[in-house]
Amino acid sequence: MKKKTWMSLGIVALAVITLSACSTKNSDESKKTFISDTVALNNSKDYNAQKVKVDVNEFKIHGGGDNSEFNKIFNKGARLDFNIGLDKTNQLAVIDGKLSLAKNDYDLGLMMSQKGIYISSSDIKSLYDNNKAMIPSSAGGVVTIYGAMIDSLDKSYLLIDSQTLDSNVQSSKNNWESTLKQLFESNSKISKADLEKQYKEIPNSDFTKSGDKITVNFSGKDIELKDLINNLSATYSIPKEQKEQLIKESKNIDISKLSVKLAVDKKSHEMTGKLTGSISNTKEKTSADLDISLASTRSKLKETLKEPAATDTNTLEEVQNAAIEKLMTQASAA
């Protein structure tokens, strides 16, 4: 089976958690509170930053050929621990944190602007140094080229500009300008009326309230994944293109053996989720065991974001040209 399908499936699984942070059932009063608290925590005027933790305790594929290498990636668990900030005024978004995979930690720092994506040069160097030993010896030429490019990073950031990003897309609808626009639009204020309409027919019996926290438990057998994505995409203002892609990727996915537990706590500004069980691809006769947890604490940026100065930035073209010049000098001296 194609690994791309299961990576998309992993995204769908996370979407079930994050989108479902609004799919709840409780006593009538708890249901109302859940909706109002969800609206409050997703108001980008009050909360334009969040600390996110995603723990992948298990993600194991069965069937569809040899999955040992893929499963090996997650057999020791994985974690994403990062901060997200959105500065709508300056149209800047920042992600800064750490990825833990196979007991190795990797720093991740990047900023998105209309110009493109700025990536921390130190993070690029660290990622390359820690993983170059895994590159097959047959790819020695690739190692030499990329090594020269890494050595040419002499400023704080590498800019992958919008023109480079757009060169890899098939439609103008998915160009960098529209992607950035959708990012900020998808984090606008949620309508309480829309949520009340969405969940009018959902039973209240699965809601429980303890102190300031409201929790809901439900099973994947209670709802089709397509309907879940359609009904909940409006809740988190997921862009149409992304919603349609999720539905396309989930066409043959069965989530009937999934269990989902979600909670919202307005006082602590936190939304959490837990997904356990299995999902299967009925067409390819494959399945994946999952145990994924997510916690998101909402906050407000302490200061406006600032785009890196040109003097602190290497462009991809500069790095490529410097690498070529270096390699040509080495070849001439040989």
Lowest mean pLDDT among 8-12, 53-57, 154-158, 308-312: 8-12
Residue 235 has pLDDT above 50, yes or no: no
Rounded CA gap, 116 and 113, in Å?
5
- Cα of first residue to Cα of last residue in the chain, in angstroms, is 46
Neighbours of 286 (CB within 10 A): 21
Q: What is the pTM of this model?
A: 0.77
* Higher-pLDDT residue of 7, 45: 45
* Higher-pLDDT residue of 5, 216: 216
Question: What residues contact residue 248 under an 8 Å CB cut-off, 6+ apart?
Answer: none
Rounded CA gap, 50 and 44, in Å?
11
Highest mean pLDDT out of 62-71, 171-180, 238-247, 313-322: 313-322
pLDDT in tens, 150-195: 999 999 999 999 999 998 776 666 789 888 887 777 655 667 887 7
Query: If you average pLDDT over residues 282-306, what whole number do you get?
Result: 90
**CA angle centred on 79, ends 75 and 83, rounded to 5°:** 170
Average pLDDT, the chain: 80
In this prediction, residue 258 carries a pLDDT of 86
pLDDT band at 334 (very low <50, low <70, confident <90, very high): low
* % the chain with pLDDT above 70: 79
Residue 271 has pLDDT above 80, yes or no: yes
pLDDT in tens, 107-122: 989 999 999 999 999 9
Lowest mean pLDDT among 60-74, 97-111, 145-159, 299-313: 60-74
CB of 217 closer than 8 Å to CB of 261: yes
- With DSSP H G I counted as helix, E B as strand and the rest as coil, what are the percentages for the chain, rounded to 5? 40, 30, 25
| DSSP 8-state class, residue 174 | G
pLDDT band at 23 (very low <50, low <70, confident <90, very high): very low
pLDDT band at 7 (very low <50, low <70, confident <90, very high): low
Residue 36 has pLDDT above 50, yes or no: yes
pLDDT in tens, 125-143: 998 888 777 666 666 666 6
Lowest mean pLDDT among 2-16, 24-38, 78-92: 2-16
Q: What is the DSSP string of 76-107?
A: T-EEEEEEEEEETTTTEEEEEEEEEETTEEEE
pLDDT band at 306 (very low <50, low <70, confident <90, very high): very high
pLDDT band at 327 (very low <50, low <70, confident <90, very high): confident
| Residue in the block written with tokens 């429980």 | 208
| DSSP 8-state class, residue 267 | T
* Higher-pLDDT residue of 44, 287: 287
pLDDT in tens, 203-214: 787 778 889 998
Task: Please choose, from the candidates 293, 288, 280, 261, the residue with its C-alpha nearest in 3D space to the C-alpha of residue 56.
Answer: 293
In this prediction, residue 192 carries a pLDDT of 80
Q: Where are the beta strands (DSSP E) in the chain?
A: 49-62, 78-87, 92-101, 104-113, 116-120, 157-161, 207-210, 213-219, 253-265, 270-281, 286-299, 313-315
- Angle, in degrees to the nearest 10, between helices 140-151 and 316-333: 120
